[in-house]
Structure 1
Amino acid sequence: MNIIASSLQGAAMSITPMIDREPLLDIRNLRIEFRGKSETVVAIPDLSFKVMPGESYGLVGESGCGKSTTAMAIMGYLGATGVVAGGSIRFNGNQLVDAAPKELRSIRGRQIAMVYQDPMSALNPVKTIGAQLAEVPLLHMGASKKDAMAMAEAMLADVRLPDPGDMMKRYPHQLSGGQQQRVVIAMALLAKPSLLLLDEPTTGLDVTVEAAVIDLIEELRQRYSTSLLFISHNLGLIAESCDRLGIMYSGEMVEEGTTSEVFRRPKHPYTRGLIDCIPDITGDKRSRTLAAIPGSIPLPQERPQGCLFGPRCSSFVSGLCDRPDLALEPASEEHLVRCVRWPEISAGEATVAPVETQMIARSTAITLSDVNRLYPVGRRKTVKANEAVSFEAATAEIVALVGESGCGKSTLARIVTGLDKATSGEIRMAGENIAELQASERPRALLQQIQMIFQNPDSTLNPSHSAAFSIRRSIKKFGIRKGKAEIEQRVRELLEMVRLSPAVADRKPNQLSGGQKQRIAIARAFAAEPSLIVADEPVSALDVSVQAAVVTLLLDIQREKHATMLFISHDLALVRHVADKVVVMYLGKIMEQGTVEEVFSEGAHPYTEALLSAIRSPHPDEAPRERIRLSGETPSAVNVPAGCRFATRCHRKLGSICDTAPPPLRKMSDTHEILCHIDQADLAARPSVLAFAEKA
């Protein structure tokens, strides 16, 4: 277990003055085109930035802004239709554009390496980890097979994977997501490259795994003096990991500067919009709404004249902001901005009015009592997906289920919605026990009352049918409206409710953006007029700006309809903003539950502490706070620990009692419970890991 205090601001490495230093990576006036048979798409019209030796440089922006395309151009992986049509990419003084293939091969992998978003796409499923890692020193360093295998095993130890010798013999599918990503990092660092490109390296990882991976990257960066080009849409991650950053929009740089300067004093309206989209762990839905950026990034062939952000900017002035050739200009030393109005636009906090809350009579909407879900594996083994799960949700209340992958959140959601059934226990709703009833066995009225919003709308929207068809089908199925005219009127009302134009009705999923598809999924769920919504990671696949818009929309509708919601998420900052009550799960059991204020601000379960300490903040002035890094992997649900489920990873473990005896339930208050051997007074006396942040 590793507990550290982190200043969190910029990176751990201070910025060295750039005077008299040559950049390691120098991109100037880069233009990237994708040339098809019928048209040419200009993905990057004109991009310039530098990465200095030993520096961590962040590249930030929404999906479609050109971040990954830039990284692929550096690596020379633009594909058959991608072309660098202008400008230069210089690495260590060498021109990479139009370089000979032999020269590029000597640079890629050896001097420049890349860590991709999806580790499984970078690992060969039919080769062992050892064989794949050994290829790097064999190919790029001329090592013997014996030396290559030794170097590979040593690097696995460097990335803190347990039992490197055994890990060398495993195949990718035998590793967890966090382990796979560490292997990919090990592969990238084996040749000790001067520059490491990181393309969303922690997307899809649990918050605790993400924290450990980012700490590892920073540690290895310091050890090997490696420069980083860090691509991410996670501003908190960039704020803590990078020395400088560039904000990209529609293929061009709109702001650049030191991390602390850009986050403290953002100049471009787009940068401020991105920052305002982020949930704040010191506030919630009652104190502020998330300020979403209206509209979306223009298609390359539809870029406006002048400021590309103009159509979405509230400060746009015709005749000024739409003039051609707007250049990056200095706002201060080492701070550049592409905005003609930046001196007169206030950089203060967003003026968002507090949300008015309605007082409604709270009755119990759903009660879970000792719910168990066991899956037999073979003749003698059993997967304990859920064990003795008990909690309740009141009418119009949002209960968040949080925990790492494999903790049982989604299994519980499937049981509640009837996609699976409990092995034992009770789930009471509308006077009926639905725990052991799958959807096909439930009465129609009950099916109507419970609806689900999934993480990926692509997997639930039929690609052959229009948006209106998906909504219309739900209305017809439950008889919400009768007659064609009434049904079509209801479709229009629901599209308006989720703030979509009527023009969207006839479009198919492939003609919609990610945010539009999720809005259709929300409209379809509420078309049944349910009393309970189960939202399983409903915004995790969306950009931060789209996420803010969808979350605000979801909260507005939930508030208006007085619907109860089970909100599943691994984003603790988002949970702090959305939830009324929080249930923390680990390995199938509830470790802690209470109001959102109790769980985030009072004595907490050690596992909850670790989850909260992994929240990353984009506030440079935040005071240092404790970081808790969990060691090891979550035990198998087939062979759970005999005592406390969390004992094998706990940083506050008392001793053998935690390994052998089930922990007692500590009643911290009428609404706050913690399952732990630690004495109740000691739990209550420990300050929140977020206490420093709240004081700042």
Structure 2
Amino acid sequence: MNPPRPALATFSAPRADDALALVGLTVAYRVRGKDRDVLTDVSLRIKRGEAYGLVGESGCGKSTVALAALRYLAHNGRVKAGRITIAGVEVLALDREGLRMLRAHKVSMVYQDPASALNPTLTIARQLSEAFEAAGVAPADALTQSYAMLERVRIADPARVMASWPHQLSGGMQQRVVIAMALASNPTLLILDEPTTGLDATVEAEVLALIAQLRSELGMAVLLISHDLAVIRRMCERVGVLYAGRLVEEGATHDVFARARHPYTVGLLRCLPAPGRNKAHGALDTIPGELPAPGTLTHGCVYAPRCRLADARCREHAPPPHRMEAAHGEQMSRCHYHERAVELPAADVADIAEANAAPGIADMRANAQTIAQPVVQSNLQTNEQAEETRSEPDARYAKVVLRAANVSRTFGRGSQAQRVLDDVSLELRAGETLGLVGESGSGKTTLAKLLLGLHAADPGGTVELDAKPLAEQLARRDAQQLQAMRIVFQHPDASLNRALPVRRLVGRALAHAQRSAANDAQQEGSSAHADEDAEARNAARVAALLEAVRVPVRYLASRARQLSGGLKQRVAIAQAFAGEPRVVICDEPTSALDVSVQAAILNLLARLQRERGVSYLFISHDLDVVRYLADRVMVLYAGRVLESGPASAVLNGPCHPYTETLLNPGLLARDTSASDGWADTPASGMPRGATGGAAGCIFSARCPRKLGAICDEAAPPFEADADGHRIRCHIPAAQLRELQAETDPAHSDP
């Protein structure tokens, strides 16, 4: 008996109360003369006033859903089938003028990067007033309404912000301005595409609270696209899960997170670092394999090649949309075995490695291990001492690789001087990860650039590598020092040449190591074909590096500008590890990645640390990621270290009140004299309320645990306990534990 044919749509027509309805939507891009489907039979509805979350890995089609709804597809994209309605309007039937009116009055979109959405050559006043004018407001009234809208999005000094240029605003401020522009038309539907990516925990909390409050006040529907599952859980009533352009699961957010009915959803949820778990407990679970290329035709379930529950039935017959009743409404899953999806077995590391191998890459890996052995062996010899140190568990971090003592950094002169780092000291040991946390503007990236030699420290501080002084300027460091320290930037566009293919991007990073190996070979007279060996070694190592960071071999010839954000970051990480560095500074390396790739990258970082003895300075806003990877944590605020110590002690408490607000942003008492708590100057980004060089605690103006005048007038002590845990606070650690236990039981004694 033949299995039932999949339904062409999960529902047949829009309803009157739909803010957005997609019925059987199929979208294709024409590439090299062929249509490649990127969305297939997607049907979803968002009711008026409802918040709907859309999740899935990069490349699954999330942003295409938003662009299709706006009819803003690229020139080679088209809707092949289906219906799109927004507030009862048939979008595909609109002419040019009708489409303009729809965008001006019914729907607005907030993009991922607010800086790229704002015109750097226009003031905020001009850009915001243009948004009102496009919605039909007279120019004479547009400025008045712009001012009122900035007040509505909780900006305390609208006049100053309207007179500012985009580069003069912090990331949180830019995002608020973009939201204000989107709300100018009082839309029925607001589409948010990764609105909090790159924002620190406190600003993210404010932006999300603002969106929730505005949605309640205005009664608008929200389509929230995000790879951050915690944001989706907090913000949305319902959630849809996209995979390879197909909606594979949908339901109430509480139901989907409590009991996912599709193996892909289960896999995404398992990729998140579990509370209390770190790298010592083993690798994170990941989703083996990779997304199929757009337009790939499949006879069975599109997820079957990566599913650990798949059998012959899954590979031969596409599952229909199964529907079942759940606690908060109906739940849908396109899986033959949705009843036992939660029983999905955990991934085995060896199985993952094989599953990730695309056709032909396994042979490349074998070749890489053979051909690249001289280079690897050479680099392992340079790390021999680190390997010996790591073999003794009790002395795992005995050797200090990188040390900074009393470093400060001041931008500007005279009355314009801003001290963005103030007397910071740190030690990074062999095979150790030091997590560096704090809000945007706290000095994390400035410290990273100072260690790398991109900034010079103020007189009086020192930086050492292997107990030898490092020159302040990058140009004055020798080749060995340059290769010993590398960086992975938050935004890969800052480190990748967009015009070069992936093969050459990673190959150039290997050039220095190859030249060293070739020189050794020539001195030993071991090869008469050094150039040919180097070329073969390069190709093999490039393939091995890209495989390690889960970049499919088909992208070798692709240029950086053709890659998604997640793929670009993976290539940037491969570049950083190409020369077998001793210290890698990771500046928000996973903030732009979806959870499955993030898990793979964290596993990669942990594995390379075990195998090579590499040390990490890991900068991140995601405290769950820091908790998983870091051995020790240092907390920066306004350029000053407020807390440092073992990760378990810092993140499990007692902790400094500032650290407490990072763990629970709702506690933060922001300075109401500022528009968002930040000095919106490009030079510093220092939090308002920070007292800088004043005698008291630098955090006193915002502290939820402030004692009184002593916090403003006397410098708090900064002494270490028996475990090396230091808290710069007037409140004793025991009292902090009691106070924090009352607010959050997680800080109480286990």
2:585 corresponds to 1:534: yes
Cα distance in structure 2, aligned partners of 1:505 and 1:276: 27
Distance in 2, matches of 1:222 and 1:503, equals 47
Distance 1:159 1:369, change over 3 A: same
Query: Cα distance 1:201–1:324, how it changes in 2: closer, same or farther (>3 A)?
Result: same
The structure 1 residue matched to 2:511, chosen from 449, 452, 473, is 473
Aligned counterpart, 1:402:
437
> Is the 8 Å Cα contact of residues 267 and 347 (structure 1) preserved in structure 2?
no
Deviation at 1:420, TM superposition (A): 3.1
1:650 aligns with 2:703: yes
- Mapped contact 1:254–1:337 kept (Cα < 8 A): yes
Alpha-carbon distance between aligned partners in 1 of 2:474 and 2:590, rounded to the nearest angstrom: 25
Query: Does the CA-based 8 Å contact 1:58-1:245 persist in structure 2?
Result: yes
Contact kept? 1:471, 1:520, Cα under 8 Å? no
1:83 Cα offset (Å): 2.1
Partner residue in 2 for 1:80? 75
- Structure 2 CA distance for aligned equivalents of residues 446 and 80 of structure 1: 48
**Are 1:124 and 2:96 counterparts?**
no
Preserved CA contact (<8 Å) 1:247 1:271: yes
2:627 counterpart of 1:576: yes
Q: Is the contact made by 2:546 and 2:571 (CA closer than 8 Å) also made in structure 1?
A: yes
SS in 1 for 2:182: helix
Cα 1:315/1:638, change in 2 over 3 Å? closer
Unaligned runs of 5+ in 1: 1-18, 615-625
Quote how far apart the aligned CAs of 1:563 are. Answer: 2.3
Which of 677, 684, 687 does residue 633 from structure 1 map onto? Answer: 677
The DSSP-based 3-state class of the residue aligned with 1:300 is coil
Q: Give the distance between the partners of 1:195 and 1:171, measured in 2 at CA.
A: 28
- In structure 1, distance between residues paired with 2:474 and 2:658: 34
Q: Report if aligned partners of 1:603, 1:686 keep a CA contact under 8 Å in 2.
A: no
Amino acid at match of 1:26: A
User: Any residues of structure 2 matched to 1:61-460 within 5 Å, and which?
Assistant: 61-140=56-135, 142-318=136-312, 320-333=313-326, 334-347=330-343, 350=346, 359=393, 361=395, 362-365=397-400, 366-375=402-411, 377-378=412-413, 380-423=415-458, 424-434=460-470, 436-460=471-495
Name the aligned partner's letter for residue 476 of structure 1.
Answer: Q
Deviation at 1:659, TM superposition (A): 4.0
Range with greater deviation from structure 2 (517-526 or 36-45): 517-526
Question: Which region of structure 1 is more displaced relative to structure 2, 600-609 or 525-534?
Answer: 525-534
Cα distance, 1:613 vs. partner? 1.4
Deviations 1:68-127 (A, max 9, x none): 111112122124333222111122333121223333333323222221212233333343
Q: CA deviation at 1:580?
A: 0.5
* Structure ranking higher on relative contact order (CA contacts 8 Å, 6+ apart): 1
> 1:104 and 1:417 mapped to 2: Cα distance?
50
Q: Output the CA distance in 2 between the equivalents of 1:326 and 1:118.
A: 37
Give the C-alpha shift of residue 440 in structure 1: 3.1
Say whether 1:565 aligns with 2:560: no
Q: Distance in 1 between matches of 2:156 and 2:242?
A: 38
- Counterparts of 1:456 and 1:360 in 2: how far apart (Å)? 37
Hey, what's the Cα distance between the residues in 2 that align with 1:401 and 1:243? 34
Report the equivalent of 1:588. 639
- 1:480·1:528 contact (CA, 8 Å) conserved in 2? no
SS at match of 1:196: strand
1:115-147 C-alpha deviation (Å, 9 max, x unpaired): 12122333333433333333444443x544454
Shift of residue 20 of structure 1?
9.7
CA distance in 2, matches of 1:329, 1:693: 43
- TM superposition score normalised by structure 1: 0.86
1:58, CA displacement in angstroms?
A: 0.6
Following the alignment from structure 2 to structure 1, what is the Cα–Cα distance between the partners of residues 443 and 213? Answer: 32
Amino acid at match of 2:481: L
Tell me, in whole angstroms, the C-alpha distance in 1 between the residues paired with 2:546 and 2:71: 42
Q: Would you say the 8 A contact 1:407–1:586 is kept in 2?
A: yes
Distance of 2:128 and 2:563 partners within structure 1: 40
CA, structure 1 residues 693+388, in 2 after alignment: closer, same or farther (shift >3 Å)?
A: closer
> Are the counterparts in 2 of residues 461 and 470 from structure 1 also a CA contact under 8 Å?
no
Letter of the structure 1 residue corresponding to residue 472 of structure 2: L
CA offsets 1:522-561 (integer angstroms, 9 cap, x no match): 5554454443222222222322211111110110110122
**Which residue pairs with 2:595 in the alignment?**
544
Matched, 1:59 2:112: no
How far residue 675 of structure 1 moved from its aligned partner, in angstroms, is 1.7
Query: Any idea what the Cα deviations from partners look like across 1:415-468, whole Å, max 9, x if unmatched?
Result: 22333332231223322122x433332344433433333334454455266266
Distance 2:749 2:320 in 1: 40
Q: Could you tell me whether the CA contact under 8 Å between 1:457 and 1:517 is conserved in 2?
A: yes
Which residue of 1 is the match for residue 745 of structure 2?
691
User: Is 1:677 the equivalent of 2:715?
Assistant: no
Identical pairs, percent: 39
Residue 45 (1) aligns with residue 83 (2): no
Q: In the alignment, which residue of structure 2 is the partner of 1:482?
A: 520
More helix by share: 2
CA–CA distance in structure 2, aligned partners of residues 358 and 548 of structure 1: 28
Q: Is the 8 A contact 1:188 1:196 kept in 2?
A: yes
Indicate if the aligned counterparts of 1:383 and 1:638 stay in contact, CA closer than 8 A.
no
- Output the amino acid matched with 1:101: R
Aligned pair in 2 of structure 1 residues 479, 393: CA closer, same or farther (>3 Å)?
same
SS at 1:466 equivalent: helix
**Count of aligned residue pairs for this structure pair:** 661
Q: CA deviation at 1:401?
A: 0.9
The aligned counterpart of 2:387 is none
Change (3 A) 1:95 1:638: closer
C-alpha contact 1:286 1:357 (8 A) present in aligned 2: no
CA distance in 1: counterparts of 2:748 and 2:242, whole angstroms: 31
Secondary structure of 1:31's counterpart equals strand
Q: 2:651 aligns with which of 600, 603, 606?
A: 600
| Structure 2: segments with no counterpart, 5+ residues | 1-13, 350-389, 522-529
Q: Provide the C-alpha distance between the structure 2 equivalents of 1:224 and 1:655, rounded to a whole number of angstroms.
A: 40
Tell me if structure 2 keeps the 8 A contact 1:384–1:638. no
How high is the TM-score relative to the length of structure 2? 0.81
> Structure 1's 568 and 149: CA in aligned 2 closer, same or farther, altered over 3 A?
same
Deviates more, 1:37-46 or 1:259-268: 37-46
| Root mean square deviation of aligned Cα | 3.2
